[in-house]
A and B are shown apart, each in its own frame.
Chain A
Amino acid sequence: MLNVKDVKKDFPVLKNRDVVYLDNAATTLTPDSVIQSLKNYYQNLGTSVHRGIYQLANETTEKYERARKKVADFVGSDSPREIVFTKNCTEGINIIAYSLHHWPEMEGKILVTEMDHHSNILPWRFMANGSEKFQLEYVDVTKEGRLDLEDYKSKLSPDTVAVGVPGISNVVGTVNPIKEMTDLAHERDALVVMDGAQWLPHRKFDISEYKVDFLTFSAHKMLGPTGLGVLYGKEDLLCRMPPPFGGGEMVLKVDRRKVKWNDPPQKFEPGTPPIAQIIAFGASVDYLNELGISEVNEHVDRLAQRAVNKLSEIPYVDIYGPKEGESRGGLVSFNVEGVHPHDLATALDSLDNIAIRAGLHCAQPLHEVMELNSSARASFYVYNAPEDVDRFIDAIKEAKKILGGADER
């Protein structure tokens, strides 16, 4: 069980600012060890990677590649060559979409779900638009915010090239049946691209269990620095995929006409990478490993359940996604009748410095399916205590009193 009091001490923002931070699905706060790692790079290393023939550059390269190994271990991959560092989760999906589209043999259907974040819809749409190669289709989502598996099965045809799916919905928190979906996709030789942005921060992921072909996630949603994401890809796929970006370090040989790509992951990492961030992300992974990802999962789940239980007791609150007791990611989306989510977010901030998210959460198709104009979302992480949930609930009641609703107009 996590000791939140101790955990909190590791986060300078929580010491420096009076905030109940419940917007963790957007980005998480940074622990001291990660900040120190960033500082250490600029103070004691400061050099580029892979190219230097001097001791300092070797040291940087070693730390940099060690971080890659930590990330590979974290997702259960036995080869760091399967870990490509990207700008963010979004860029990872864009790379996959572009590469598959430019891979001559790949032609057919791309399936994404109605609950995907725009970042797992638009890259595919860009490739499908005006092209004969890809046709985009959506897997239905029920009004309760669950994937319709029967619909998935019926749309998964022999010509399906790839399936895009969020491990956990960033809006409703539904935990999708990744294993089952991947098995079904593989039976039809379709590749699975899992958006792991909401999964990796607090749920154990082992590639040998879930077997997805590609997985993307963001460092900043799991205590890491901004400007960094991860693209995991099965090694044989990464070896054969055409790279979307050209530049230094991603080639073995270039003459004026021909080019021979470097091996992965360098093939997908042209130019100087975010070195400080990558090394510091290694420190984030260390931090999560020290807490224990199972403990993190249990803690975050418990907070989300507490929020769901307490919100369910309020008659004017509508909750979306999995109900009480059901498995959900560490978040809850909801609406307060008569109070617009933006007004609620402003009110919670003004009343008790509570930071929540409000709006469409970059998932407009899902809001359309659920017939919602927008929603409010609270999301939890390692430094949140049960008392934070209680303050959040109290502030909602107060906001309702102040901003009223139809009954007080």
Chain B
Amino acid sequence: MKDKPEIYNQDVVHHYQNPHNKGKLSDPDFSVTEENPKCGDRVTLQIKLDGAEISEVKFHGHGCVLSIGAASILTQMIQGLNVREALELTFDDLVENMGNPAKMRKDCASLSLNALKKALSGW
């Protein structure tokens, strides 16, 4: 066995184990669920707007370190952004905030980002 390889960036593991903004909003303006049919992961992202600004955001669901870690990180990134700024976020922006997630697992890491785009595209 290899000597202590870094499987994931420790920050992402920390987010997975101690997720931020996990839960449900009582009266969200947008609520979108994304699923990955290959593994069954599911993330629901809920957003409340104050004008054009994201005032509250929460997520819930189940999944792997990357899908849950990414969701936790993403909710922190978009808090306080306006809708236009949030829509401009790319996968690379998310990856930059996640350290170096497994490149093979884009489907996992982008689950919550896809939910965000779907939620706000109707705004």
Contact = CB atoms under 8 A, between A and B. Distances in A.
B13 A403 contact: yes
Interface stretch (A94-102, A182-190, A209-217, A338-346): A338-346
B1 A340 contact: no
Contact of A350 (B2, B40, B63, B64): B2
B2 A342 contact: no
A347 interface: yes
Given A342-B105, A351-B7, A359 B1 contact: no
B9 interface: no
A46 B39 CA distance: 42
Band of interface residues on A? 20 to 34
Interface in B1-46: 1-2, 5-8, 13, 17-18, 37-42
A128 B42 CA distance: 29
B42 to A, nearest CB: 8
B5 A340 contact: no
Contacts of B41: 340, 342, 373-374
Contacts of A374: 39-41
A391 B1 CA distance: 8
Given A359-B39, A409-B17, A351 B5 contact: yes
Given A342-B105, A346-B7, A347-B7, A360 B40 contact: yes
A342 B1 contact: no
Interface in B55-80: 62-66
Among B17, B40, B62, B108, the most chain A Cβ lie within 10 Å of the Cβ of B40
A359 B38 CA distance: 6
B39 A358 contact: yes
Among B6, B7, B38, the most chain A Cβ lie within 10 Å of the Cβ of B7
A409 B105 CA distance: 23
Contacts of B63: 340
A180 interface: no
B102 interface: yes
Interface stretch (A67-75, A85-93, A166-174, A394-402): A394-402
A352 interface: yes
Contact of B66 (A342, A372, A395, A402): A342
Nearest to A367: B40
A343 B1 contact: no
B39 A341 contact: yes
Contacts of A399: 7
A346 B40 contact: no
Contacts of A395: 1
A123 B63 CA distance: 30
A403 B1 contact: no
Interface in A315-361: 340-343, 346-347, 350-352, 358-360
A352 B6 CA distance: 12
Given A360-B40, A391-B1, A399-B7, 5 more contacts: A343-B65, A343-B66, A346-B102, A359-B40, A373-B41
7 contacts: A340-B41, A359-B38, A359-B39, A399-B7, A403-B7, A404-B13, A409-B17
